Structure 1
Amino acid sequence: MADANGTISENLVARRSDHTTIRYTAAGPADGPVMVLIHGWACDRRDFHAVTGHLPEHYRVLAVDLAEHGESRSTREVWTMEEFARDVAAVLEAESVTEAVVAGHSLGAAVAVETGRLLPGTVSHVVALDGLHYLSLFPAQNEEQTDAVLGMFRGDFAAAVRGLVEGGSPAGTDPAVMDAYFEKMVAVRQPAGLRAIEGLLRWDMDAALRETKQPITVFAIRDLVTQEAIDRYGDRLDIVLVDLGSHHFQVEAPEATARLLADVEHPERL
């Protein structure tokens, strides 16, 4: 575990039966308020290492590698957002957590919502880091739309990943930064990478939101949000517009991201 100074301990393990081993890191005192950090698709918990270092020292911070991302491994057949939430739940059980704020980036935001649904008595607040507001994904697409998107990934995976990176990069984003994200994401382990995209496409966010009782705060990059999305979800999501870089702003602006996360239960500060 983390030492008294909050040093991150690597390679902590939560096992889910015989098919899934989840790796995660922990920092901060064991009795501190818990913040769970969930990476996005084709990323890993290292995206949050710098953020963790900027969070208040009294926090207990758990950063999770979802199955087949980072150092976590799985031979399972199910790759839904609900199943990823069970990965997170396994970590919370391993850490004997009774209350936590759960924050997820991109696909991880969907996983955070599902974790809240799965553990309504444990998760006190759900936070999305540039997630949940993309109308190209939500509301749930029909079969024809889903098959069309999956066809792009199956036909030319690298080109589809490049499109995701470009779509999440506002004008002026450093091309070298975009290239770095692309190289990382295109190397996602298969077949889990493609199956996870399919799971996100088939996720019914509207249904999930109806059943999620916790408050949900979305920190969204201003240049990537449409007014239509705000109009559609503004009565269910507390959407806070930020100017911190690209879709991966937690990597580019970790100190500012940490401030947002630390203030999430104090909306007057946002």
Structure 2
Amino acid sequence: MRVTRTGSGGPPLVFVHGLACDGTDWQAQVDWFETRTTVVVCELPGHGSSTAAPEDCTVEAYGAAVARAMTELSLPPAIVVGHSMGCRVALQACRTAPGAVSGLVLVDGSRIGDGDPAIAEQAMAAELAGDGYRRFMQRFFESMFFASSDPDLAKRIIDRGVGFPAPVGRKLLTGLVAWDAGEVQSALDSVRVPLLAIQCTTLDAARDRVSLESGQSAPWTDLVLAHVPQATTAMLPGSSHFPQIEQAAEVTALIADFCDAIQRHQ
């Protein structure tokens, strides 16, 4: 895993991107926070400039890698910020090394697998077989943007997602739905630190993204609140699945307020 560290001070912020994404998705937040505190950006194995064999690309392995990086960098307890799949990785890192984490920020998380983990994994593997992988990634990423989105941004991220290597993508997606089905609730139950869920979209039955309306909740935030009593939520209606880019100022302000609240209570 490639790790970039900038800035100084605390509390440290550790940013974790989503599936088929990379560390550049956090550039607006890095630019703002690195003048104020320590900022660490992770590029997960198999993503960006980090290479990996497909078998090493799982939520569990990624969570362990992030936890290990925080230890190797000798960071004081850090606030881990995850987006999409990175929400799962952040939760797994917290479960792996709870003493290394002082808070969690989950940006537009979701749950795409439930029931029996093995059955969920097999169903996803069947869906992704052959040309199914490209079709899935095309539709999955296209649904992350709406009419109000910047078309150039949407095209760049969709192309990046569709071009993500199939061996790694298949391994990640099948493992991800199994993790959602079998692990997400226990991972949430293990959280003992403050948690902020920033939510913009939800998934319909076809796994297409739907923009949240004002006052609307989402199954993901309902799940988080049910399992993490100290959690809080912030809704950003009308945004795409990439609010850290499309609503960068709002997301940065929410993270900054969360950091301030943690410092006040330490």
**Counterpart-to-counterpart distance in 1, 2:217 and 2:173:** 22
**Counterpart-to-counterpart distance in 1, 2:232 and 2:16:** 19
Residue 97, structure 1, aligned to residue 92, structure 2 = no
Residue 47, structure 1, aligned to residue 38, structure 2 = no
Considering fraction of residues, name the structure with more helix.
Answer: 2
Question: TM-score normalised to the size of structure 2?
Answer: 0.81
Question: TM-score normalised to the size of structure 1?
Answer: 0.80
Q: What is the correspondence of 1:12-161 to structure 2 with a 5 Å cutoff?
A: 22-29=1-8, 31-55=9-33, 57-75=35-53, 77-131=55-109, 134-135=110-111, 137-139=112-114, 142-155=117-130, 156-161=132-137
In the TM superposition, what whole-angstrom CA distance separates every residue of 1:116-172 from its partner, at most 9, and x where no partner exists? 1111111011111101xx34x154554444333332322322221122123323453
From 231, 238, 241, the equivalent of 2:232 is: 238
Q: Which amino acid letter does the alignment assign opposite residue 64 of structure 1?
A: C
**Counterpart-to-counterpart distance in 2, 1:180 and 1:74:** 23
CA RMSD of aligned residues (A): 2.4
> How high is the sequence identity, in percent, across the aligned residues?
26
Pairwise CA distance, 1:234: 2.5
From 184, 193, 199, the equivalent of 1:214 is: 193
Q: Which amino acid letter does the alignment assign opposite residue 168 of structure 1?
A: M
Q: Work out whether residues 33 and 58 of structure 1, in 8 Å CA contact, stay in contact via their aligned partners in 2.
A: no
Q: Does the residue aligned with 2:75 lie in a helix, a strand or coil?
A: coil
Pairwise CA distance, 1:187: 2.0
Could you say which residue in structure 1 is the equivalent of 2:148? Answer: 172
Residue 256, structure 1, aligned to residue 231, structure 2 = no
Q: Work out whether residues 120 and 178 of structure 2, in 8 Å CA contact, stay in contact via their aligned partners in 1.
A: no
In the TM superposition, what whole-angstrom CA distance separates every residue of 1:185-231 from its partner, at most 9, and x where no partner exists? 12223422221112211112012112222222110005247554444
Give unpaired runs (5+ residues) of structure 2: 202-210
Greater mean alpha carbon deviation, residues 225-234 or residues 32-41 = 225-234
Q: Work out whether residues 140 and 202 of structure 1, in 8 Å CA contact, stay in contact via their aligned partners in 2.
A: no
**Counterpart-to-counterpart distance in 2, 1:94 and 1:244:** 39
Distance 1:118 1:162, change over 3 A: same
Q: Which amino acid letter does the alignment assign opposite residue 188 of structure 2?
A: L
**Counterpart-to-counterpart distance in 2, 1:110 and 1:140:** 17
Number of residue-to-residue matches in the alignment: 243
**Counterpart-to-counterpart distance in 2, 1:86 and 1:142:** 21
Distance 1:178 1:58, change over 3 A: closer
Q: Work out whether residues 45 and 51 of structure 2, in 8 Å CA contact, stay in contact via their aligned partners in 1.
A: yes
Q: Does the residue aligned with 1:264 lie in a helix, a strand or coil?
A: helix
Could you say which residue in structure 2 is the equivalent of 1:18? Answer: none
**Counterpart-to-counterpart distance in 1, 2:30 and 2:148:** 27
Residue 202, structure 1, aligned to residue 178, structure 2 = yes
Pairwise CA distance, 1:232: 3.8
Q: Work out whether residues 87 and 107 of structure 2, in 8 Å CA contact, stay in contact via their aligned partners in 1.
A: yes
